[in-house]
Chain A
């Protein structure tokens, strides 16, 4: 009799125990991380914190940002992990982010941390503007590979360059804001006036110009380094070129959505997202990561990309965005407009 009760008790306890030990918190995490990486990120984090489960909501940067803003009055996400810093600044300006000073944030490269205290977002990695140059088509047309932004305005490239539209692509905007920060607004507009003459199309997505160059649809794609390396691995005859003047860049970053009911778990995730271990994980795809000294060279990309990155002022970019886009659309958006 006693034994049976004990046995039952033991059974009950062993059934309940894991449930207590792993009282898991579910975090709804919005992200724009590439689909290929999602499972790996989730697995690595959940191994370090078995009590927290991640539910991904993934979409492209533009859709994710629009979704978050549309849900402004009724946020559905707990954490945003892996969204462009400028997008997070938009959310911050709406008061949607919970400022948080993650453990170990002082180890990170300063340019990857929001400059408020406590920071609104903390960075993971960077994507850096680059050119994808199709060597086969270039040779066929007798063109030389460009080495600088200035080169792109040479008349010989007329009609051979594809660039993302800053009004619909974050990569497009980081280029424009990059040129403005490099040269000042006036010179940047003069440059774009000349560049516009050579552009055959403005695409809606930032990685598409590189893929178009890879497929020979264009000779030069203004894009960023990541799709370039990917296309090259897939067999595209392209060179990835970092213009000599320096490149605009964007950070992928992490932030907590204000009012989350799972604040503690969210903080745990953000703490972990800036650890050395997490940065090593980012480095599998990204050549530049926020934790200094972690980054190893990625296949097809040079090891010194971080030296090409300009001194980027995210805050300036975010606050000037509306005005810049308005002017950009006025100048260039009606490219196909019949000239009469």
Chain B
């Protein structure tokens, strides 16, 4: 600040000097507000509503009910007593039994030990508040008026609980052994799967970057296949491979595939590509000079590996580990298909909400499920911040040298893993076209007659494609615009960092939690956005939000590669930012935008957990149909629908590659 200019003794006239927000900046600010609002409405607000749902408890308020009992003639009434007083005398209901769920019922006869069915005694009951409700049979009565019943009817009177706020649900959760066990199970499964997946992924990535094994491109392609199928599919494949009628049942030596073994194998299958791609990127940016230095210091192979290779990829490994951990702990499809009786958090949510209509407990499990995911996410962020650029301008790309033993080993391992992946997919394909496994192995197409199955017919498949296309289109626009605002807008530092935080959040939110939060938020008639409930719109919004983070990071990376000078030059040439945006930024970032679009497409095709609560009859999805068909025991049609998703994603990938090549030839000539 220039004090001289502002000194009061100087006759200062005219405007104070200050940087003026240009029209561009206002437009940018407006954009950012719109997309920020989107993230608040689609993410922050629903999660907040869910949190408050988990705190909504139900309790029998005994003081709210009063009784009066007649004598044997049924004409003379005794004194008015409240249920609370009676309970103090009798101790009929323990205090812990008073807290219940929204469907709790407490028989009124509990307070009358001398109660006899078919006695001439009459009973009166009333509430002391307007909200006190009780049932006669299943008919609801409410209010402070006395109601009189003969003993036969009074037997059917049950009290209903009143709702309040508190931590009671969490207490109930932790005191239910089967439920609390799920926390332990989920963490254990996620930890084991992480170790196994990361080991395999690292070995594969190492082979691909540090050896001269043949068919690298082919392996790369095969190793990413699991991304293209819903996580239910490995579960189904495992049933056919290792179930009680499985082809390789004997390999399990008497252990059951339904449970931890199945969960781990399936989790490794569907998380492998994610870990593999991250570690591959980390290992690809090796600096050959480090290896030369190690060689000239006569370091052993092992020492080079532990002091150069592993530290170089350290952050990639940590990052991949957290991605795998989060994916496993939040996944719902796989444990539901193959988990057997092994309780997992994500399945518990489903069981509470769909099985028992206990929404509050579903919200409690959701909140608990958020904890490890948020922790993993926070640690990962910290690690990322410490990541320093490994690849300086003077780095020399590493080129692996031939080594027959090493190359063969890597090739054999990659071949083995590829065989495992292809085997799982092939098993599903076989299951989908066999008439009645294992008793009638004739081939048939009847498993593709989805319209005759419960759970969603071909219309569901069409819906899935519609959802995937809309998600890819709408999502790419929102995500890229959002990332652009974060990266390129100058000023509004505070708003930008909040925005960035919101954009990073979806990674830590399990799909099932997001879906449940959407019910609570959007199905509230008081919400002006209520009309989108049950439409395709809510599915698109949910899917875009669910997969926002990775897409956001991709866009950010692409934008960071663009020199900020472009903005300065455009500004000095008095070009409005939209011209720069559409003429330069978008074309330059086109490969990244296409990657975001295909990422969103593929994930929208396979997503289950986020949308399982949100679809309506007109918007059934193929992935949900896989779940429902498997649930009803129609495993072969479920496999068939899963394969349809797989083939669609393959086709989408091919189209993506073609478009990318065509467009890039036109827009990327400058590269």
Contact = CB atoms under 8 A, between A and B. Distances in A.
Contacts of B628: 60
B177 A334 contact: yes
Q: Pick from B158, B179, B438, B617 the residue with the most CB of A within 10 Å.
A: B617
Contacts of B350: 168, 204
A73 B158 contact: no
Interface in A87-123: 89-90, 92-95, 115-116, 120
B614 to A, nearest CB: 11
B140 A95 contact: yes
Contact of A322 (B100, B258, B336): B100
Interface string B139-177: 110000000000000001010100000000000000011
Interface string A208-221: 11111011111000
Interface in B120-137: 135, 137
Contacts, number: 165
A288 to B, nearest CB: 20
A212 B139 contact: no
Contacts of A323: 105
B336 A236 contact: no
B653 interface: no
Contacts of B107: 319
A217 B243 contact: yes
Given A74-B525, A235-B436, A319-B158, A205 B138 contact: no
Nearest to B616: A57
Given A69-B357, A322-B101, A329-B176, A211 B633 contact: yes
Interface residues of A, number: 68
Interface in B337-391: 340-343, 350-351, 353-357, 359
Contacts of A34: 454
A57 to B, nearest CB: 4
A217 B245 contact: yes
Contacts of B534: 76
Contact of A62 (B100, B354, B633): B354
Interface string B38-54: 00000000000000000
A319 B135 contact: yes
B631 A204 contact: yes
B519 interface: yes
Given A35-B457, A330-B176, A205 B632 contact: yes
A92 B107 CA distance: 17
Nearest to A219: B244
B632 A208 contact: yes
Given A35-B457, A336-B341, A215 B635 contact: yes
A70 to B, nearest CB: 6
A227 B633 contact: yes
Given A73-B525, A165-B355, A204-B351, A237 B138 contact: no
Given A35-B454, A90-B103, A208 B633 contact: yes
A282 interface: no
Contacts of A299: none
A210 B633 contact: yes
30 contacts: A35-B451, A35-B454, A60-B354, A60-B454, A60-B632, A63-B354, A66-B357, A69-B359, A73-B524, A74-B525, A93-B138, A93-B140, A116-B139, A120-B138, A168-B354, A200-B256, A204-B336, A204-B355, A204-B631, A208-B631, A208-B633, A210-B633, A211-B633, A215-B436, A218-B244, A315-B137, A322-B103, A329-B176, A330-B178, A333-B343
Given A35-B452, A315-B138, 7 more contacts: A35-B451, A71-B523, A216-B245, A217-B244, A227-B633, A235-B436, A321-B103
Interface of B: 100-101, 103-105, 107, 135, 137-140, 156, 158, 160, 176-179, 181, 239, 243-245, 256, 258-260, 336, 340-343, 350-351, 353-357, 359, 435-440, 451-455, 457, 519, 523-525, 530, 534, 616-617, 628, 631-635
Shortest beta-carbon contacts, A-B, top 3: A211-B633, A168-B355, A333-B178
